[in-house]
């Protein structure tokens, strides 16, 4: 069987919002290589071209193939009866594992798996072991790594959130249940009864069949495959609708995972954050470091390589030559130096000041130590106000209009992604 890089590119791009625009074919080829190695495939027959939405259907075949070949990577049987669902208690911060296995955007290299394991063990040692992954991250590799690390650590107190990819070809509630069981297998390489998924989320809305997904999510919960359910990239109307549908079955919508950072404030501006609070839906803020741009390590002269270069151009080469962004960084530096902390902690504590749970990505022990260290202190009200004012002057680094997530369900006319 042949999995071409374009197929993987489209598949991955569908989950990364505007970042997708920065994915290159070279990176896609590397992910394909890892994918082929991971799932024991040979060259073959999926060959969609980029740029055509219909290709999502074909590309989705890659994920289907990966799942079909799961027994190659996991020995656990498909779980049937697992322990009863229980309520979710999340720490004040989690760790994002998108980069753990993803070579397309993050240039993942398996040689660095030990670094990732160190991050994992550090979070466990701090009692902050809450990891966010997805079946799409590295086409299953991120989940497999987390399953492996958890198994090797022998520690039970690890919470893992993963996500169902709402790809266009998936149209039935049973697609959600099947994907959930496949994720469970990757997360449970050990023999014996699999540990249920702590939080199972719909990664992003689809343009149709969203109600079927909610039904599938409810089934996963009722079967005890997962302990709690959530959504991601859901706008206000869509979140209210899924909340209502689940509530009718006595199931709480635990979370909405959305992008929020000092460089992406839409959920505050359009009322999404307030709507989550009103429904008692916890917000997991993703990309809280704006993909690393809020850590202070990049400036007009020092830019990241790879897909993030385009974002650097937008930030530093815009009409104001980066003046507003530099203004924000100056305010952040002032606060950081007052507290004697790295800049990343200021960025993370700003998202915490908005009553959200940030899930920053970390690829090294140093990054994880710095990021989790944000929990040792809080911003003052004046500092939050100063950051609000400085960040309001900076145009968002990514435009929601460029997001590939469907804005509307074409059948129900429900507004889906709207930030």
Ligand X SMILES: NC(=O)c1ccc[n+]([C@@H]2O[C@H](COP(=O)([O-])OP(=O)(O)OC[C@H]3O[C@@H](n4cnc5c(N)ncnc54)[C@H](OP(=O)(O)O)[C@@H]3O)[C@@H](O)[C@H]2O)c1
Q: Which residue is nearest to ligand X (CB)?
A: 96
344, 349, 391, 403: which one binds ligand X (CB under 6 A)? 344
User: Binder to ligand X among 61, 79, 96, 235 (CB under 6 A)?
Assistant: 96
Out of 18, 65, 188, 367, the only residue in the binding site for ligand X (CB under 6 A) is 367
Q: Which two tokens stand for residue 170?
A: 């998936």
349 is an interface residue for ligand X by CB under 6 A: no
79 binds ligand X (CB under 6 A): no
Q: Interface with ligand X includes 288 (CB under 6 A)?
A: yes
Residue 232 within binding range of ligand X, rule CB under 6 A? yes
403 touches ligand X (CB under 6 A) = no
Contact range with ligand X by CB under 6 A, out of 208-216, 328-336, 355-363, 393-401: 355-363
Q: Which part of the chain contacts ligand X (CB under 6 A), choosing from 4-12, 93-101, 319-327, 333-341?
A: 93-101
Q: Is 403 helix (H, G, I), strand (E, B) or coil?
A: coil
Query: Sign of the CA dihedral 374, 114, 183, 12?
Result: positive
Using the rule CB under 6 A, is 233 a contact of ligand X? Answer: yes
Minimal CA–CA distance to 62: which of 169, 161, 142, 187? 169
Q: Which stretch binds ligand X (CB under 6 A): 39-47, 118-126, 273-281, 292-300?
A: 292-300
Among 23, 139, 362, 390, binds ligand X (CB under 6 A): 362
Q: Could you tell me which stretch among 3-11, 190-198, 206-214, 357-365 binds ligand X (CB under 6 A)?
A: 357-365
How many residues line the site for ligand X (CB under 6 A)?
31
Q: Which of 22, 35, 39, 98 forms a contact with ligand X (CB under 6 A)?
A: 98
Residue of 108, 122, 137, 234 marked active site? 137
Which residues share a beta bridge with 408?
415
Sheet holding 253-259, edge to edge: 95-96, 130-132, 159-164, 199-202, 229-232, 253-259, 282-286, 357-358
- When asked if residue 297 is in the footprint of ligand X (CB under 6 A), the reply is yes
Assigned token pair, 390: 């400085």
Q: Please select the residue that binds ligand X; options are 363, 388, 396, 407, rule is CB under 6 A.
A: 363
Report the candidate in 390, 388, 315, 323 with the shortest Cα–Cα distance to residue 351.
388
Q: Does 289 engage in binding with ligand X (CB under 6 A)? A: yes
Contact between 295 and ligand X per CB under 6 A? yes
Contact between 370 and 305 (Cβ < 8 Å): no
Q: Which stretch binds ligand X (CB under 6 A): 6-14, 173-181, 237-245, 291-299?
A: 291-299
CA separation, residue 309 to residues 188, 306, 313, 326 (Å) = 37, 6, 6, 17
290 near ligand X, judged by CB under 6 A: yes
**310 vs 8, 37, 293, 323, CA distance in Å?**
21, 30, 12, 18
Which two three-digit tokens encode residue 204? 């992003």
Distance CA 60, CA 63 (A): 5
Burial of 110 (0-12, 13-18, 19+ CB in 10 A): middle
The string of DSSP letters for 238-303 reads: HHHHHHHHHHTTT--EEEEEEE-BTTB-HHHHTSHHHHHHHTTPEEEEESTTGGGGGGT---SSS-
Answer yes or no: 108 catalytic: no
- Smallest distance, Å, CB 83 to ligand X? 25
Instruction: Indicate whether 360 belongs to the interface with ligand X (CB under 6 A).
Output: yes
The answer to the question of residue 66 lying near ligand X (CB under 6 A) is no
Residues from 246 through 285 that contact ligand X (CB under 6 A): 257
Catalytic residues: 137
Binding site for ligand X (CB under 6 A): 15-17, 96-99, 132, 203-204, 232-233, 257, 286-292, 295, 297, 344, 359-363, 367, 370-371
């Amino acid at each position: 069987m042949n999995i071409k890089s374009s197929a993987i590119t489209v598949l991955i791009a569908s989950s990364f919002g505007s970042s997708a625009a920065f994915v290159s074919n070279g990176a896609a080829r590397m992910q394909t290589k890892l994918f082929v190695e991971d799932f024991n495939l040979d060259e073959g027959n999926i060959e969609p071209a980029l740029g055509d939405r219909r290709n999502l259907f074909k590309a989705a075949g890659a994920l289907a193939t990966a799942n079909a070949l799961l027994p190659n990577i996991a020995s656990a049987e498909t779980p049937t009866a697992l322990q009863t669902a229980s309520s979710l208690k999340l720490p004040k911060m989690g760790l994002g594992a998108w980069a753990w296995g993803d070579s397309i955007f993050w240039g993942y290299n398996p040689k660095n798996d030990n670094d990732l394991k160190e991050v994992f063990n550090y979070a466990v040692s701090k009692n902050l072991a809450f990891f966010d992954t997805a079946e799409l991250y590295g086409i299953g590799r991120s989940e497999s790594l987390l399953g492996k690390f958890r198994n090797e650590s022998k520690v039970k107190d690890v919470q893992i959130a993963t996500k169902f990819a709402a790809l266009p070809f998936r149209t039935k509630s049973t697609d959600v249940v099947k994907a959930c069981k496949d994720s469970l297998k990757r997360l449970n390489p050990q023999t014996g009864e699999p540990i249920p998924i702590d939080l199972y989320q719909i990664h992003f809305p689809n343009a149709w069949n969203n109600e079927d997904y909610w039904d599938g999510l409810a089934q996963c919960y009722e079967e005890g495959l997962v302990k709690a359910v959530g959504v991601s990239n859901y706008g206000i109307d869509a979140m209210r609708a899924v909340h209502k549908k689940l509530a009718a079955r006595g199931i709480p919508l635990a979370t909405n995972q959305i992008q929020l950072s000092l460089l992406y404030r839409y959920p505050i501006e359009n009322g999404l954050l307030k709507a989550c609070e009103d429904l008692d839906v916890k917000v997991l803020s993703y990309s809280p470091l704006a993909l690393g741009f809020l850590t202070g390590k990049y400036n007009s002269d020092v830019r990241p390589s790879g897909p993030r270069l385009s974002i650097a151009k937008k930030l530093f080469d815009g009409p104001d030559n980066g003046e507003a962004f530099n203004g924000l960084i100056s305010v952040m530096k002032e606060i950081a130096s007052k507290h004697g902390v790295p800049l990343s902690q200021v960025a993370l504590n700003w998202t915490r000041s908005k009553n959200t749970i940030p899930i920053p990505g970390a690829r090294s022990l140093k990054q994880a130590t710095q990021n989790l260290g944000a929990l040792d202190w809080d911003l003052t009200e004046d500092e939050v106000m100063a950051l609000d004012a400085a960040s309001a002057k900076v145009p968002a680094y990514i435009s929601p209009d460029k997001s590939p997530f469907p804005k509307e369900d074409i059948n129900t006319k429900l507004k889906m992604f709207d930030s």
